[in-house]
Chain A
């Protein structure tokens, strides 16, 4: 379980997270929605321990990662798989090497075992035959799928997705969402998806939380969010120009 309690963070005196409280249940997929610049990616970086909050606590399976560093923090990170916004694939490595990288560096699996696992992971994301390509030679959608395979290769218990479908066409978007659902069913991880793909995100999330001006303004099931009477939520999910959310 992930518990976030009163997390605050500022950059150059500008408050980005203003006291976030959120509980994420095990094996559920929670989507965090909110307009661009609302602090979603900053929040995600706190969950990975890449940023430290000025106030508040983040408990992953009971361990407060805001108080951990070095090897202790790395132990918690070993439970995580992260799909970064741009994929964050290593340019100098091929698709195969990218997916194999965490296994090679973090496990004692033999070469053959690594090869079997990587080929299976690439099969799962529909990229068999692309092993020898470099990230620069494949499309944006393919990069996200390779990144998904890499994020899941160590079978993490928690997977964080930072805008996994931004900039993709509707068909690829649906295929990525389908992949996330399929892999969630197969591995049973706790998923956190940062997204502003409305209404598509409602299909894959068990719960949806809306972040606005650095605080969680509403949490609920997709149905509850769709029927919310909160004007902030209503304006965001309908994409209306009229309402309490500032456009710029």
Chain B
């Protein structure tokens, strides 16, 4: 029994220490965001990295998410005789919830994993040590551009996901299920307001910080060799994905 308590205590303490270390990393990142010199070229490169890596997958998942939503919601709403509300139901689901969450999950899988692997490889091949030995701060060169890029790119990708999703739903609702195109869009105008768009925006902004924080941290403090990088990459994707869903609930419950 004593042994078990000791083990639990040691596990708890190491978890707290790790979390503290991660928070210090995040605070340092935000500190260097506002301290010149700013690396605009690196920022543009990372915006391209996130956007370019994720755009196709966002377009694909966005359109199919909208199509599935249209299909499922149409049959549910028809039971209550409210098919006319299909457009706003799809738009609200996408803007408030599915757009930010699914796009963040897709970017994590696509660009987040690549980011952890890239920084991890830089760590094990001593490229980060080389930067430090040149009296250059690796946070400024590797972490800050990724954090700022993800804060810019995540809301944009979520917005693209929403628009494509709404049009995906339109194709199913109008072309397959025979709904009128006017009903689909006109009801949307009445039900979706700025509050919903703001909620989606807050969510995707916070997901951007979360994903970039976890993926950069895991890469920056990766273990030894190829195995260490592979473990960090898996951990980064799993931790980011789980935290996106948990954080989504908390943000939703506060903002609703």
Question: What chain B residues lie within 8 Å of A106 (beta carbons)?
Answer: 134-136
B interface residue numbers (CB < 8 A to A): 121-122, 125-127, 129-130, 132-136
Q: Determine the distance from Cα of A48 to Cα of B127 in the docked complex, in whole angstroms.
A: 14
Per-residue interface assignment for chain A, residues 56 to 79, with 1 indicating a CB less than 8 Å from any chain B CB and 0 otherwise: 000000000000000000110110
Of the stretches A15-23, A32-40, A84-92, A119-127, the one at the interface is A84-92
Any B CB within 8 A of the CB of A247: no
Min CB gap B227→A, angstroms:
17
Contact present for A74 and B127 (CB under 8 Å): no
B45's nearest neighbour on chain A, judged by CB, is A92
**Sample of 13 A–B contacts (CB below 8 Å):** A48-B133, A49-B132, A50-B132, A50-B133, A74-B135, A82-B130, A84-B126, A84-B130, A86-B125, A86-B126, A88-B130, A90-B122, A91-B122
Question: What chain A residues lie within 8 Å of B121 (beta carbons)?
Answer: 91
B127's nearest neighbour on chain A, judged by CB, is A88
Question: What chain A residues lie within 8 Å of B130 (beta carbons)?
Answer: 82, 84, 88, 90
Q: Determine the distance from Cα of A196 to Cα of B227 in the docked complex, in whole angstroms.
A: 27
Q: Determine the distance from Cα of A131 to Cα of B129 in the docked complex, in whole angstroms.
A: 23
Any B CB within 8 A of the CB of A6: no
Question: What chain B residues lie within 8 Å of A78 (beta carbons)?
Answer: 135
Min CB gap B60→A, angstroms:
28
Q: Determine the distance from Cα of A106 to Cα of B132 in the docked complex, in whole angstroms.
A: 12
Min CB gap B111→A, angstroms:
15
Any B CB within 8 A of the CB of A53: no
Q: Determine the distance from Cα of A63 to Cα of B80 in the docked complex, in whole angstroms.
A: 80
Question: What chain B residues lie within 8 Å of A88 (beta carbons)?
Answer: 125-127, 129-130
Contact present for A48 and B132 (CB under 8 Å): yes
Question: What chain A residues lie within 8 Å of B133 (beta carbons)?
Answer: 48, 50, 77, 80, 82
5 closest residue pairs by CB, A with B: A74-B135, A88-B130, A88-B126, A77-B135, A82-B133
Contact present for A90 and B127 (CB under 8 Å): yes
B141's nearest neighbour on chain A, judged by CB, is A105
B137's nearest neighbour on chain A, judged by CB, is A74
Q: Determine the distance from Cα of A101 to Cα of B132 in the docked complex, in whole angstroms.
A: 13
B125, B129, B134: most-surrounded residue (chain A CB, <10 A) = B134
Contact present for A105 and B129 (CB under 8 Å): no
Question: What chain A residues lie within 8 Å of B129 (beta carbons)?
Answer: 45, 48, 50, 82, 84, 88
Contact present for A77 and B134 (CB under 8 Å): yes
Min CB gap A243→B, angstroms:
30
- In the complex, which of the residues A45, A75, A89, A105 contacts B134, with contact meaning CB atoms closer than 8 Å? A105
Question: What chain B residues lie within 8 Å of A80 (beta carbons)?
Answer: 133
Contact present for A75 and B126 (CB under 8 Å): no
Any B CB within 8 A of the CB of A102: yes
Min CB gap B79→A, angstroms:
56
Q: Determine the distance from Cα of A85 to Cα of B127 in the docked complex, in whole angstroms.
A: 11
Question: What chain B residues lie within 8 Å of A101 (beta carbons)?
Answer: 134
B128's nearest neighbour on chain A, judged by CB, is A88
Q: Determine the distance from Cα of A75 to Cα of B122 in the docked complex, in whole angstroms.
A: 24
Min CB gap A43→B, angstroms:
14
Min CB gap B243→A, angstroms:
29
Question: What chain B residues lie within 8 Å of A49 (beta carbons)?
Answer: 132
Q: Determine the distance from Cα of A77 to Cα of B137 in the docked complex, in whole angstroms.
A: 12
Q: Determine the distance from Cα of A90 to Cα of B122 in the docked complex, in whole angstroms.
A: 8
B39's nearest neighbour on chain A, judged by CB, is A105
- In the complex, which of the residues B125, B132, B134 contacts A102, with contact meaning CB atoms closer than 8 Å? B134
Contact present for A105 and B126 (CB under 8 Å): no
Q: Determine the distance from Cα of A88 to Cα of B130 in the docked complex, in whole angstroms.
A: 6
Min CB gap B201→A, angstroms:
32
